[in-house]
Amino acid sequence: MAFEIERKFLIEYPDMKILEKYPKSEIAQTYLKTDDGFTSRVRARTSDGVTKYIFTEKKRVTDLKCIENEREISADEYKELLKLADHERMTVHKTRYCVPHNGRVVEVDVYPFLSDRAIAEVEMQDESEKVELPDFINIIRDVTAEKAYKNASIAKKIPSDC
């Protein structure tokens, strides 16, 4: 069992000329039906023409912290798990850019349904750590505690202020 601690920010749509300089992945994230208090998903993540498949289970502990179990899976296992998809949720498609900054990686997610905003996430070691984003990223607000901005919620309904 591992913990994930992260902050999430709603940001203005970033300058793509700057963002395109950083490594990117195309992600398709599908949520699975669960009954155990965990949120389960499968993800196909393609970078430089190579696709990796990942199974993840998360259980929220606090607004910033969750229990996370994650493992790489085969393409065949991915296809089998897709049969367990939660049909009340759409597959979330996004482009993720990984921006190194101050010893961390800022993950900027650009969604096809947002034309003027994006999401930035930063993983931390401790909930009390201060987070700084690169100067070219303009924060609208911290949405870490807003359930509407969790990808599992976005899969059900795009937040209305987007």
pLDDT tens, position by position, 105-147: 999 999 998 889 999 999 999 899 999 999 999 999 999 999 8
Evaluate if residue 85 carries a pLDDT over 70. Answer: yes
Give 70's strand partners.
56
Q: How far is CA 97 from its chain centroid?
A: 11
Q: Would you state the pLDDT for residue 160? A: 57
Report the pLDDT value the prediction gives residue 115, as an integer from 0 to 100.
87
Amino acid 36: pLDDT: 76
**Interatomic CA distance for residues 5 and 22, integer angstroms:** 23
* Rounded CA Rg of the chain: 15
Nearest to 106 by CA among 25, 1, 6, 3: 6
Q: What is the pLDDT of residue 25?
A: 98
Q: What's the CA dihedral at 62, 65, 67, 69 to 10 degrees?
A: 150
- Pairing of β 39-47 and β 24-32: antiparallel
Q: Please report, for the chain, the start and end positions of each structural domain, with discontinuous segments joined by +.
A: 2-154
pTM of the predicted model as reported, rounded to 2 decimal places: 0.92
Q: How many CB atoms lie within 10 A of CB 146?
A: 15
Given 2.40.160.60, 2.40.320.10, 3.40.50.300, 2.102.10.10, which CATH number is that of 2-154? 2.40.320.10
The pLDDT score that the predictor gives to residue 159 is: 66
With pLDDT > 70 as the criterion, what percentage of the chain qualifies? 97
pLDDT for position 162:
46
Please give the average per-residue pLDDT across 81-94, as a whole number. Answer: 95
| pLDDT (mean) for 46-73 | 95
Pairing of strands 39-47, 104-110: unpaired
Confidence of residue 74 (pLDDT cuts 50, 70, 90): very high
